[in-house]
Amino acid sequence: MLLHSGETLRRSAYAVLEGDAPESARGPGILYLTTQRLVFEAADRRIGRGRAPVTLMDAALAQVRNVAVRRSRIGHDRLLVELTMGRPVFDVLDPPAWTTAIAAAKRAGPPASGGAALAPTVIERQVVKVRCRYCGSLANEVDGRCPRCGASL
């Protein structure tokens, strides 16, 4: 899973792709939600291809029409994703948390480029004055030496 520039990961979990996915694409993998996309990667199980992860779904959040929890009378609930190009169903832990997170990511949209950034933080350093033991002048503690007589503070 490679993130684009300016993209950050919001959530990821082990998931099993089911439902409308083609037979060859069904199976376990990792579901990723970023600030820009919903991605599902699975290990390629075809012979001779090793275990390199294969991207089975890479949808921009704009392509996500809706997300829902599909209740199941037997077994546990599923995460149903309605894309412009299909309706994959994921068996993932806590589907309601995923629907909430995906909806929130969609609302937030891609982060503004060029940085409508945070206000810069100004840290004011506090300078402590100390009185020299030898000549009585005030000196900055951080300087370590008296500016008048040179004695160490």
Select the residue interacting with Zn ion from 135, 141, 142, 145 (CB under 5 A). 135
Shortest CB 128 distance to Zn ion, Å? 16
Task: Examine residue 108 and tell whether it contacts Zn ion (CB under 5 A).
Answer: no
Shortest CB 149 distance to Zn ion, Å? 3
Q: Which residues, including other chains, have CB under 8 Å from residue 27's CB and lie 6 or more apart?
A: 16, 17, 42, 43, 45
Task: Examine residue 38 and tell whether it contacts Zn ion (CB under 5 A).
Answer: no
Task: Examine residue 138 and tell whether it contacts Zn ion (CB under 5 A).
Answer: no
Q: Spell 16-51 as b/e; 16+ CB within 10 A means b.
A: bbebebeeeebbebbbbbbbbbbbbbbebeeeeeee
Candidates 13-21, 50-58, 93-101, 133-141: pick the segment binding Zn ion (CB under 5 A). 133-141
Candidates 57-65, 72-80, 119-127, 134-142: pick the segment binding Zn ion (CB under 5 A). 134-142
Select the residue interacting with Zn ion from 17, 42, 81, 146 (CB under 5 A). 146
Tallying the residues shown for the chain, one arrives at 153
Within 10 angstroms of residue 86's Cβ, the number of other Cβ atoms is 14
Task: Examine residue 149 and tell whether it contacts Zn ion (CB under 5 A).
Answer: yes
Q: Which residues pair with 39 in a beta bridge?
A: 32, 58
Task: Examine residue 134 and tell whether it contacts Zn ion (CB under 5 A).
Answer: yes
Structure tokens at 54: 């294969």
Contact (CB, 8 A) for 102 and 62: no
Which residues form the interface with Zn ion (CB under 5 A)? 132, 134-135, 146, 148-149, 151
